[in-house]
Amino acid sequence: MNEYARPSRMKVDLGALARNYAVVRSRTGANRKLIASIKGNAYGHGAVEIAKFLAAQDVFGFWTGSLAEARELREAGITTKIIMFGGYREDQIPLLLANDLSPTVFDDRGLAAVAAAAGSIGREISLYVKVDAGLGRLGVSIQTAFDFVVKASQTPCVRVEGVYTHLPFNSDPGEQWAKARYALFEKLLSDLARRGINPDITQVWGSSGVLGGLPDICNAVCVGHLLYGLVPAGLDCDAAQDYVPILSVLSAPIVHIGSVDQSLRASAYRGRGGCSSGVIGFGLCDGVLRPRGEHKFHALVHGRRVPVIGTSLEHSILDLDCIDSPQIGDQAILIGHAGQEEITVKDWAKWCDCTPLEVLMSLSKRTTVEYRPA
């Protein structure tokens, strides 16, 4: 624990992570390889601790887009395969190889750069080819992917270990589109197989495909959202109920109890506040988002829901009129359960008109994370 840390705390429940992992495993079948997406600091939950926990399960590897975070994993002693989605410059490829990370390539330039770096260290490097099946994201286009994979597989000093694409969706039409694009990817894999190219790892589906139970001929899935108990926006179906958010608590202690002058209140604060205020050490610098429209932020104090009437850079102000004798040191729960009440990441997403993932990304690294063991 950092003794200089700010007062707020996030609790991440590794037991919930273990349960989500088991549900994903039961949906994908044991003979599929599972790659855990830990990009974006493990979707805001802390890449090192999440990866340490998952490395002890039967995870095949981690996918990330941050060279710095990948290095932190290696420094923490994690030896599991780490595949870089991208997120590095060509001149960083030697660093990537020095840290035993697997590069992704999707154009001639990237392929040549990896081959040159591999040649200079005199070691064969396993790489992954990313195919763009129509989203316009990173990837060699599905139309030219066959030629590119053949070329990569004939390039000295490199070995094509994996071929993957990404077809996330968040609506029924999106699912139909993803299935149609998947058919093209399946044809690519069959064409490659006929040419004698059978990569160790083939992958198309992430959380939305796993949630929808979509069939495929790939031998791996790469899942992020579901492991963290996040359901991709728009896919709140019955199967989604099996996944529990692993962020169980976000809290900050009340550091001051004040009173709001009634004539000032209306102009300084959002909505009608009360007379008694509580100040917590959690503000914009910690990632509080701004509520949209008529929405208001709430927190839980003594098991009761209280409005958040204002937010400054370092603090937020709670309306404590309905709380009997609030005390300095009482915890304000910003996300989590208290008594009969609960505030979820989804509530925050609704208040701010954004996705749960955007909420998690806004919670800055300034809040100390405590991990509850499984």
Closest approach, Cβ 239 to ligand PLP, in A, equals 14
Which residues contact residue 356 at a Cβ distance below 8 angstroms, ignoring those fewer than 6 apart?
230, 231, 233, 245, 345, 346, 348, 349
- Is 218 a binder of ligand PLP (CB under 6 A)? no
Choose the binding region for ligand PLP from 68-76, 111-119, 206-214, 332-340 (rule: CB under 6 A): 206-214
Among 223, 249, 320, 323, binds ligand PLP (CB under 6 A): 223
Q: How far is CA 34 from CA 42, 85, 220, 255, in A?
A: 15, 16, 6, 44
Residue 207 token pair: 């959380």
Choose the binding region for ligand PLP from 3-11, 75-83, 189-197, 219-227 (rule: CB under 6 A): 219-227
Using only C-alpha atoms, the chain has a radius of gyration, in whole angstroms, of 24
Residue closer to ligand PLP (CB basis): 206 or 336: 206
- Is 206 a binder of ligand PLP (CB under 6 A)? yes
Residue closer to ligand PLP (CB basis): 309 or 363: 363
Alpha carbons within 13 angstroms on the beta-carbon side of residue 33 total 17
- Is 85 a binder of ligand PLP (CB under 6 A)? yes
Among 70, 73, 222, 323, binds ligand PLP (CB under 6 A): 222
Closest approach, Cβ 162 to ligand PLP, in A, equals 11
Residue labelled with tokens 């009360």: 274
Closest approach, Cβ 90 to ligand PLP, in A, equals 20
Closest approach, Cβ 194 to ligand PLP, in A, equals 25
Closest approach, Cβ 206 to ligand PLP, in A, equals 3
- Considering only residues 28 to 47 of the shown chain, the ones binding ligand PLP according to CB under 6 A are 37, 39
- Is 207 a binder of ligand PLP (CB under 6 A)? yes
Helix (H, G, I), strand (E, B) or coil at 130: strand
Nearest to 276 by CA among 294, 257, 301, 302: 257
Maximum separation of any 2 CA atoms in the chain, in Å:
78
Closest approach, Cβ 117 to ligand PLP, in A, equals 22
Query: E strands within the chain?
Result: 9-13, 33-37, 61-64, 81-84, 101-102, 104-105, 125-132, 140-141, 158-164, 201-203, 220-223, 247-259, 276-280, 298-301, 304-311, 316-319, 331-338, 341-343, 368-372
Q: Which residue is nearest to ligand PLP (CB)?
A: 224
Contact 232, 208 (CB under 8 A): yes
Choose the binding region for ligand PLP from 24-32, 154-162, 224-232, 339-347 (rule: CB under 6 A): 224-232
Closest approach, Cβ 128 to ligand PLP, in A, equals 10
Closest approach, Cβ 54 to ligand PLP, in A, equals 14
Q: How far apart are CA 51 and CA 62, in angstroms?
A: 8
Contact 250, 233 (CB under 8 A): no
Contact 231, 240 (CB under 8 A): yes
Residue closer to ligand PLP (CB basis): 204 or 299: 204
- Considering only residues 129 to 168 of the shown chain, the ones binding ligand PLP according to CB under 6 A are 166, 168
Contacting residues toward ligand PLP, per CB under 6 A: 37, 39, 85, 166, 168, 206-208, 222-225, 232
